[in-house]
Structure 1
Amino acid sequence: MDLESLKMFCLVVEEGSISRAAKLVYVSQPAVTRKIHQLEDYYGTPLFDRSNGKMTLTKAGKMLYPIAKNIVEEIQQSKEAVKEITGHKDFTLSVGATLTIGEYLLPSLLGKFKKEVPDVKLSLAISNTPGIIDRLVDRKIDIGFVEGVVENSIFHVKKLVDDELILVCGREHPLKEKKQIDIEELAKEKMIWREKNSGTRLIIENTLKKYGVLDKINYYMELGSTQAVKAAIESGLGIGFLPRITVSRELKYGYLHELKIKDVEIKRHLSILSRTERFRKEIVDEFIDFIYKKMVSSG
């Protein structure tokens, strides 16, 4: 048995088929099959049930997978640790972020970090929170930025900052002249929303429900992106809630106007996720420290 056999076994489990695993590592399907057979010969038992044209894990395969995964990750971590100690620092940094953070917050920070550490090789993947968590678990990214609270014992979770969700209208909207409005006034307005599975929308709806106005709201339009919601509100089609970090430019130049709601404030956490492990690339800790220096201390 060799490490490559364990790696290939884990990849086949995660991809669900030999063909997809082979494509990912640019080898032939027979080569992958040989690695799996070598592993099965070593343990003396089938690891996959190949009946009915599908590959499903046997009882032995289910038992082996988490152990094999841990072995592969420990070997990789040991390589990284030795490189750090011997001066061969790993300058690759893979970052994952949810849409709002990835589009509106991180790009400029990544650029500034690149200026401070010119040798760093950066990549940014954007997904929803479950997608970021999956990428972190699978070691496809080194660090993740998400909205909301994540409770997971395998992660180190640090609150970054609070992001406020604010109500905005266009420059010609009648409500613009009011210093603040009562939350009940929302029932009279045409509301522009993100799609139903949006985390931002869920937070807002829970708040409106708490104040007893959710069922009175006019769901005038649902749009699939923050940019689309902003454009619709700017065009005077209605009003809506958006994260403050996504509308700072529009508020500054008067394209949108913030509507204060009396005695109502809606906030959410922006958090950093990283794996809890004995050996971590030095560049990960450098980046986390940089982010806090630029954001938390200034906020």
Structure 2
Amino acid sequence: MADRRLQVFHAVAKHGSFTRAAEHLFMTQPAVTFQIKQLEEHYNTRLLERGHGKISLTPAGELVLAYAERILGLSEELESRVSELTDELAGVLNIGTSTTIAAYWLPTLLESFKRRYPRVIPRVVVGNSQLTEDRVAARELDLGLIEIVTEQPAIEHRSAARDELMVICQPSHPLAKAKSLRASDLIAYPFITRDPGNAIRELAEEFFEAAGISMNEVTLCAELGSLATVKLLAAEGLGYAIASRAAILRDLREGRIAAVPLEPRLYTPLEVIIPRDKFRSRLITTFADHACEVLAALAGEFATDH
């Protein structure tokens, strides 16, 4: 129900860029520019200053932004309240998720939720856990599914489940023969790690540091954003990696890689996060509850799958 021009203006002001606002709104940049022009013509004043590659708000723009945030918030609340009266959940749900959860947990979660609430439209954005956490804290997303325990005061988190982290390597690799592996057992071999901001990378670094081993002592083989590439390099014998059990079950069954538990055991948390001060619709609450239930059930299945 909210004026589309206000939605576009709010996105441009928050992102500080026509291009990023267009990406966030799934619009073209010319369409965003047109909406801003229309709004400025409506108020007969300039709302944005454009220069030197930067966008800033004029005094009138600051005023419009303050009211736009209130109007858009009320519009969202109105839509939610009316849909709740019908007893049928509906509408768009903006979900952020880490790459591992997106690949191995989210399909089952979304399938079961869509069967129960077919009129809900999940809009999923995939990034690493840190990026997802930041976007939820900025209230750009309704909720997130991540693999780190957040300490941001702007976020409320629910611990849904956990997944064991294991060393993965080629079946013929010397490490594959071990029953468990300490940090000191690993430093003689090249380590295939993840990209900065990735939850498993952070947990792996904490694992080494807890054993008194600096990351400067660890021989890096590669730093990768793609889990599929991590598994491929490990399977080809270029080094070892640390990955979650859910992400390697198929590879284990097909014999492409070997997996060995860490000592002490290491787990990645599966967290559902929500902006603490955002209006909490029944749709958001229902999905968060469902996510906790399904993630816990899947974690139990993955833990017993060999």
TM-score band by shorter chain is 0.7 to 0.9
* Counterpart check, 1:143 vs 2:143: yes
Does structure 1 conserve the Cα–Cα contact (< 8 Å) formed by 2:157 and 2:271?
yes
| Equivalent residue, structure 1, for 2:303 | none
Does structure 1 conserve the Cα–Cα contact (< 8 Å) formed by 2:137 and 2:152?
no
Counterpart code for 2:114: K
Could you tell me the TM-score, scaled by structure 1's length? 0.80
**Change in 2 beyond 3 A, CA 1:77/1:254:** same
Could you tell me how far 1:208 is from its partner in structure 2? 0.7
SS at match of 1:172: coil
Does structure 1 conserve the Cα–Cα contact (< 8 Å) formed by 2:90 and 2:119?
no
Unpaired segments ≥5 residues, structure 1? none
Counterpart code for 1:156: E
Residues of 1 paired with 2:162 and 2:32: CA distance?
49
**Change in 2 beyond 3 A, CA 1:277/1:212:** closer
Could you tell me how far 1:101 is from its partner in structure 2? 0.7
SS at match of 2:296: coil
| Equivalent residue, structure 2, for 1:183 | 183
* Counterpart check, 1:222 vs 2:226: no
Residues of 2 paired with 1:40 and 1:133: CA distance?
38
Residues of 2 paired with 1:34 and 1:233: CA distance?
55
Residues of 2 paired with 1:52 and 1:205: CA distance?
40
Could you tell me how far 1:31 is from its partner in structure 2? 5.2
Could you tell me how far 1:170 is from its partner in structure 2? 1.7
Could you tell me how far 1:158 is from its partner in structure 2? 1.0
| Equivalent residue, structure 2, for 1:211 | 211
Does structure 2 conserve the Cα–Cα contact (< 8 Å) formed by 1:18 and 1:33?
no
* Counterpart check, 1:271 vs 2:271: yes
Could you tell me the TM-score, scaled by structure 2's length? 0.78
Q: How does 1:1-299 map to 2 (within 5 A)?
A: 6-16=6-16, 24=28, 27=31, 29=33, 32-39=36-43, 47-49=47-49, 55-58=55-58, 61-62=61-62, 65-87=65-87, 89-133=89-133, 135-136=135-136, 141-214=141-214, 215-262=216-263, 264-276=264-276, 280-296=280-296, 299=300
Q: CA RMSD in A?
A: 3.4
Deviates more, 1:202-211 or 1:173-182: 173-182
Post-superposition CA distance 1:107-154 (Å, at most 9, x none):
122123333344443332212235434554676643211121223344
Count of residues in Structure 1 that have an aligned counterpart in Structure 2: 293
Does structure 1 conserve the Cα–Cα contact (< 8 Å) formed by 2:272 and 2:291?
no
Residues of 1 paired with 2:120 and 2:53: CA distance?
45
